[in-house]
Structure formats: C-alpha cells, structure tokens
Structure 1
Amino acid sequence: MKTKILYPLFATILFVMNAAGQGYDKNYRLLSSGDLVVDKNFYLITVIEKTPEVKTILTGNATLKSFLQKKVEVLKAHVTDTCSAPMSLLGDFFWQQDTAALVKELSSVYKANKKAFDKMIDGHLRPSGYYQRFVGLSNDVLLAKAWNQCFYGMDYIINQYGIGKKMRYPHIDSASYRVNTRSYRIMLKDLVTSLDEISNEFDVFYKPSLAIAMQLMQANDRDEPARLEPLEHGINKAAYEQIQKTDWKKYKYAAIVLPGAGPELMIPIGHAGKIHCDVAARRYLAGDAPFIIPSGGYCYPFKTPYNEAEEMKKYLMEKYNIPASAIIAEPQARHTTTNIRNAVRLMIRYGVPVDMPSLFVTSVSQTKYSAAPSFDARNMRELGYTPYTGKKQLSNHSIEFYPVIECLHMDPFDPLDP
C-alpha cells in the first residue's frame, strides 16, 4: 500500500526537479522563425537562426560550406537536366549518406566554440522542453542528438512526401498524391527550379534539404502542426484564461483527457466520438475535474477537413452546455499514444498542476486497450517512454494517471505532430 502511495509522489518530485533544473523552464518563451511547422519539427534550427553568433560560426566553417555548395550545385543541375523521377531529383538531399562526416565536423565545431554553443544550449535548447529526454546528457551529446533529430526528420519528410515511401502511419499520413504520376514529377521539377531562384539565400549547410522538405509538405497540404495555432489566443483562449483563476483544491483530478475517434465517413463526428464525449461529460458534470481536454487532429478518413478535438468541443458545448472555458482543445494528436502525450504538453505549458492525477476517459473498448500492458509497450516502442506514470484503471470508462515531463520532447518520427 505504501508503495502505491509513494510512487506518484516520487514521480511528482522528479517532475519538479527536472522542470526547475537543467530541463524545461516554465518561464522560457519559445522562439519563432515565422514558420511554425519548422519550429515544431526543427527547433534547433530555429534557435540557430535566432542566435547570430552560432549562425556565423556555422556559415564560416569551410567543411560545412562544402556540404552547402554540393547541395546547391545539385539543385542548379536539376534545373536543366533530364531527371524527373522522384529519387533522381531528391536523392542527393538526404542526410543519411553524409551523417558520419557531419557528426565528426559538428563535434569539432562545438569543441572549438564551446562557450557560444553552451550559451545557446543552456539558454534555449534545455529550457524549451523540446529536448527534454536529453537533459541528463552533457551539452556536446545533447547537441549531437538534436542535430541527429534534424537530419532524420528531414530525411523522413523527403522519404514520405517526395519518394512516396510508406513510413510510420501510411493510412493517414502518407503523400496526398501518387508520386510516380506525370503530374507529380512535373511538380517536383518545378519545385527544385523554384528553389534554385532563391539558392543564393541558402547560407547554412542545412538550408537546401530543409527547403526541399518544407516545400514537399506544402505541396501535399500538410500544415497540420500549424493549424488552429496559436491555440491559447484562439480555440483555447477562454480555457487558458480560466486556468489562471481555478481553485484546484476543489477537485480530485486536474483534467479529463478525452481521446478522439475518427469516423469512417467524411463527417464532423462519428458514433464512437460521441460515446467518448458522453462518458467524459458525465465525469465533468459530476465535478471530477475543472477541465476536459478533447484530443485529436485531422486524421480519419484520409485528408478529412474535420478536426477531432474541435468537433468534440462543439459537441460537448451543444449537447451538454459545457462552457468553452472548461474545454482545452488539443487539435494535433493522431493516435491514442499522442492523445495523452499532447494533452500533457498543454497541461504543462498552460500551468495545469502536474502534482495532481488526471483522468483518461473514453469508451469501454478503448479503456481496455489503454489499460493493458501492451499499450505501455506501444508507447515505449513509438515514443521511447510512457507519457504517464501511476496508471490505474478505475472503471470501464476511466483510467487515472500522472503526467510526465518527457511529453514535451519533440518527435522526429511524426512530422505532422512532432
């Protein structure tokens, strides 16, 4: 019995220590490049672009200049050559073939300019939370892992939206068009030609591949990470303001996390989504928690125009008269694993207490699935950690859990919801 009581408490203490130490800082303000898709997928690059001293070091390095020049030359060659197949046009923009040489050079650059890089790492990468799983590592290792995430992330996007490879979740996240069609090949040729016109602006070695990756996401209408943002100024404005006024001592739970259930038809909300909302509304109306967090993105069916979290919020307000100030929409998660992870991200960044338990409330079928050890294994396999601790099934429709700060860590394996 004592173990069950102390375990969540230990997790809370660990959370606070991490947040106050060399990791996430609630007072840190995220930097912006003007492109939220870039910021969420490649925050290291956003920070470099906003840190003149570090950017100057990278642009002035001869070896890194040669990497840049080679990719610019490839871009220019494709303007006049006869290449038209996706791999022939895009293959040279992958980082995989250059990773070993890059890692060696970037390590040398760090060692020769340690003071400037440490200032950037301690002032931005660590407190941002985007690299929270790396906070126990030394600065040189943390930076190397952050670079590796950038390289892998760009390769992933080019593979998925340029080459047409079936990556992690192809049934909802794959390219919007058949990449081997004549029209797509023409688009790719037009894309590289368009980028050639601005190639003189590519001043850092990562710019050509980053530009290719972002153009491919744009061509496939894949701007999900930026949709509805900034949430706290729009769809979550009323709830965000209410959080600051909430008397948490009145409640047993901090929030009710409500996962989505994408319909098979092209409709706003399906029968499963309504059941999820119904059971969550009952817990809210019973006074269990002051907020419901409906979670789900633009997922099912493929290329749906409807957002699960937004539609569930409408349903809760219209059927149960639950006020907007009590609903924190999380409109980007694409899976049950990231429903919890993303809800926790908002809780942390919005100031919802993390030393209180929260509830995961859903249908009986999804409760059984999420309460099973196999769900923990799936989280470990896909995220590298479980986005909760102290998980305990309470009923057919609810699971108690505590948040973990690792949820802030960005995921290069999911460019639509990093």
Structure 2
Amino acid sequence: MTKLLFLVSLLGTYLAVQAQPASGYRPTYLFVKSDNRVADKNFYLLTAIQQQADIQKIIKQDAALQALCQQRAGLLKAHAKDTCRTPASLVTGFRWSGGDSLKMVTALQALYDQHPAYFDKLANDHLRPSGYYQRFVGLSNRELLARAWGQYIVGTNYIIDQFGLGKKMRYPRIDSANYPVNGRYYRTILKDMFAMLAERADTMTLFYQPSLSVAMQLMDANDRDEPARHEPMEQLDNKGAFLAAKKTRWATYKYAAIMIPGSGPELATTPLSPLNKMRLDMVAARYKNGWAPFIIVSGGYCYPFRGPYAEAIEMKAYLMRKFGIPASAILIDPHARHTTTNFRNAARLLIRYGFPTDKRCVMVSTKSQTDMVANSAFDERNRRELGYLPYRDKQRLSDHDVEFYPTLESLHMDPYDPLDP
C-alpha cells in the first residue's frame, strides 16, 4: 500500500481537514450505476459524479482541468494516426504523473472552496453511505474527496501498468495480461484500440474520461470483466439466501454463517480441487449439525491462469448435488482471488445483506490453510495488502475452524485489485 499512502498523503497536503465528518455506510443506500459495472466497482466516485450534473458543469468550467482533458483527448486522436506502436509510447501518456496529479488536486481544491455545498452533497449522499470509501469516513468531506481522487489516480495507473505496459503487479501468476504486451499481436490490438477510442474523443468532456477509457478498454481487451460477473448477485445467484436472511431467527444458531475459502484447481479440466472437496465435506457436516443457517462459498476465476471455473460457483453446485443443501442456504462470492479477500468479501456480503455483525462467523478449511490464517503473519499480510484487518476477534477453535467477526472497513474498495476491487 506504500504508493497509495504516499499519494494520499500528497493529496492531503493540499486539502486540509475543515468540516466535521459525517456518517459512513448506510444499509438503505441505493447504488447508482453506469453502463460499465467494472468501472462502477473500481471507480465509484466517477459513477456518482455521472449522476451529478451540477458537479460536471463545475468541473468543465475549470480551465486547468479542461486543459488536462483536451490534452489527453487530443492524444487519443493523435495515436490513431501517428507512428507510435509500442505499449510504452501509446499508453504512458494516460498514466497520472506526480505533476498531473498536483495540477488536478490544486484545481479540485479551488473548486471545493468555491462550491462546497455541491461537493458535500456528493460526499454525504453517495460516497459515505456507499461504504466504498469506508476507511475515510472519519475525515472531513474535503479530505475524503481528496482520498477518493487519489484512489482514482492509483487505480487507473495500476490498470495501465498491468494490462498496458505488462508490469508484474501484485499477483502476476493469475492477474497478468493475456498476451505478451510487446508482441506483434498485442501492439496491433493497442493501435486499433486507440483508433476506436479516437472516435469517442470529442464526447470526453471531463478531465478523467480519456484515461478512464483507456484503462477500461485495456481490461476489456484482456477479457477482464471479473468484477461484473454474476452481478447483481442479490437479484441472481444469491437472491434466495438474500431473502431468507431477512426471515432468519439468528438466536437459534451459534454462527451467522460458515465461510469456506476456495482452492483453485491446477488443471483447466478440473472444476474442483482435492482441497476444495475436503473443505466442502467438512462444511456440509457442520451445516447439517446446525452450526449456521448459511454457507458462504468464496473464490473467483483464479487458477489456473484464465481457467474457466469460478471456485464459488463450483462449490455451490457440489454442496447442492452431493449433500442436498438448498440454494437458499448458500451465498456465493465469485470474486475473491486470495485468502485475504475471502474474509473481506464474506464480510461485505454479511454487512450488505443485513446479517447481524455482532454475531460470530466461522471459517472452515483444511489444516494447511487454517494454520496460515491463525498465524500472526496472516494479520500482517492483510495490513500490508488491504491496509486493515477484514475480521476482528479471530480465534482458532480446531485444526479446521476459525471464528471471526466481520469489520465495516471491509466495504472499502481497493485500487490495487482491479479484478476484485
């Protein structure tokens, strides 16, 4: 998290705390959305601005921000016709340098000072209650907005670095670009991508849109739509359990839910790994013994690289087929890519679906994984990668069971994990 913390610190230098902070996550909040759910999940600030005509108008009237917009929209057009063909020559200009970030922050600082009511409304009506910026809720709206813009900068740069420049980012084994970025085929893809984006350049009137368009197109070129898959889950795969939770008598059970982390298969022809099957067999026994009314199966499209199976989808099917557990008792999280985000995403489901967060949950897994989870090194990994612990009061009960409570910080989006922000 070092780069993000540095950037946030830089932004905070220019946007001093002033107003008393308002509240954070609100369970009744209704999300706004664009036509791109991947962008919504990675950059909710921008999706919210898309619904705020007054703020768009204010931003468009700022000369410095418009200069940034025109420069980058012009670069889209230039790359459609120039001789640039390498990834570095094509996409680097859409990253946010320290200098560009400073220009942006200075301009946004002035806009907040001139129009605080409009920006306070954005923060209070959308950013705070969404939970996407939950780690910032103790800050003033001025500072919260600065941190949110910082996450846009970091997130955009991360996507361009990973899928445009082919840099090995946090999890290269499963998150890298599909193609050798300096190969002839990918260079052709990028060049034609800019020709296509050039057609839309004149419609990009907000300073962040050209870089955002490049980042989203790079993800699309690599078929990286994982954040949008199976959404909206509460209306699709999780609908039965989502509705059942509203009628559950929680006092009847020891735990609110049993969480099982996935273990990706090593073979593209294998839906479930041997470890996954062992974990599921143990979970089914605990469910049938009345430990909890719900099971959360957590795991995305991870292993092997670009494999066809989502761990959570296959785990749910296994529990239903082998043990007759009803779909209404199983919640899927088909997005998590690591043990850290198994906990984080389970916490998100529990919080957003109205589970009692003061009731314990239990992770059930094979001994090798519970050994890892119970170790203090796992706590340090969470702090290092997420910036916080997605659980509290973690306690190991046996070789296969670890109790925990979810934490509200888990709702916070992660700009360093564009496939599961």
TM-score by length of 1: 0.94
Q: Deviations over 1:49-81 (max 9, x none)?
A: 111111111111111000001111111111221
Q: Distance in 1 between matches of 2:230 and 2:308?
A: 13
Q: Which of these residues, 128, 132, 135, is aligned with residue 133 of structure 1?
A: 135
> Matched residue of 2:292: which SS?
coil
Alignment of 1:148-167 (within 5 A): 148-167=150-169
Q: Distance in 2 between matches of 1:34 and 1:281?
A: 39
Alignment of 1:99-248 (within 5 A): 99-248=101-250
With 99-108 and 219-228 compared, the bigger mean Cα shift is at 99-108
Q: Distance in 1 between matches of 2:246 and 2:79?
A: 55
Q: Distance in 1 between matches of 2:97 and 2:168?
A: 18
Partners of 2:38 and 2:227 within 8 A in 1: yes
4+ runs deviating over 3 angstroms: none
The aligned residue for residue 40 of structure 1 is: 41
The aligned residue for residue 29 of structure 1 is: 30
Q: Distance in 1 between matches of 2:229 and 2:28?
A: 25
Q: Deviations over 1:145-172 (max 9, x none)?
A: 0000001101100110011000000000
Partners of 2:394 and 2:403 within 8 A in 1: yes
Gaps of at least 5 residues in structure 2 are 1-21
Partners of 2:297 and 2:333 within 8 A in 1: yes
CA drift of 1:82 comes to 0.7
**Amino acid of the residue matched to residue 292 of structure 1?**
I
Q: Distance in 2 between matches of 1:350 and 1:356?
A: 14
The aligned residue for residue 290 of structure 1 is: 293
CA drift of 1:234 comes to 1.3
Q: Distance in 1 between matches of 2:83 and 2:140?
A: 47
Q: Percent identity?
A: 55
The aligned residue for residue 12 of structure 1 is: none
Partners of 2:74 and 2:201 within 8 A in 1: no
Q: Distance in 1 between matches of 2:81 and 2:224?
A: 29
**Are 1:316 and 2:322 an aligned pair?**
no
Q: Deviations over 1:204-253 (max 9, x none)?
A: 00000000000000000000000011111111111111111111110011
Gaps of at least 5 residues in structure 1 are 1-20
> Matched residue of 2:392: which SS?
strand
The aligned residue for residue 11 of structure 1 is: none
CA drift of 1:283 comes to 1.2
How well do the aligned residues superpose, as a CA RMSD in angstroms?
A: 0.8
The aligned residue for residue 94 of structure 2 is: 93
Q: Which of these residues, 348, 368, 372, is aligned with residue 345 of structure 1?
A: 348
CA drift of 1:270 comes to 1.0
**Amino acid of the residue matched to residue 229 of structure 2?**
R
Q: Deviations over 1:182-216 (max 9, x none)?
A: 11101101001101111111010000000000000
Q: Distance in 1 between matches of 2:375 and 2:61?
A: 53
Alignment of 1:261-300 (within 5 A): 261-266=263-268, 267-300=270-303
Q: Distance in 2 between matches of 1:282 and 1:375?
A: 27
CA drift of 1:307 comes to 0.4
The aligned residue for residue 18 of structure 2 is: none
**Are 1:332 and 2:335 an aligned pair?**
yes
CA drift of 1:96 comes to 2.1
Q: Distance in 2 between matches of 1:244 and 1:177?
A: 45
Q: Distance in 1 between matches of 2:158 and 2:276?
A: 31
Aligned residues: 398
Q: Distance in 2 between matches of 1:76 and 1:35?
A: 23
CA drift of 1:280 comes to 1.2
Q: Distance in 2 between matches of 1:101 and 1:54?
A: 18
**Are 1:365 and 2:381 an aligned pair?**
no
**Amino acid of the residue matched to residue 116 of structure 2?**
K
Q: Distance in 1 between matches of 2:106 and 2:403?
A: 46
The aligned residue for residue 17 of structure 1 is: none
> Matched residue of 2:48: which SS?
helix
Q: Distance in 2 between matches of 1:200 and 1:232?
A: 37
Q: Distance in 2 between matches of 1:140 and 1:229?
A: 32
Q: Distance in 2 between matches of 1:96 and 1:395?
A: 49
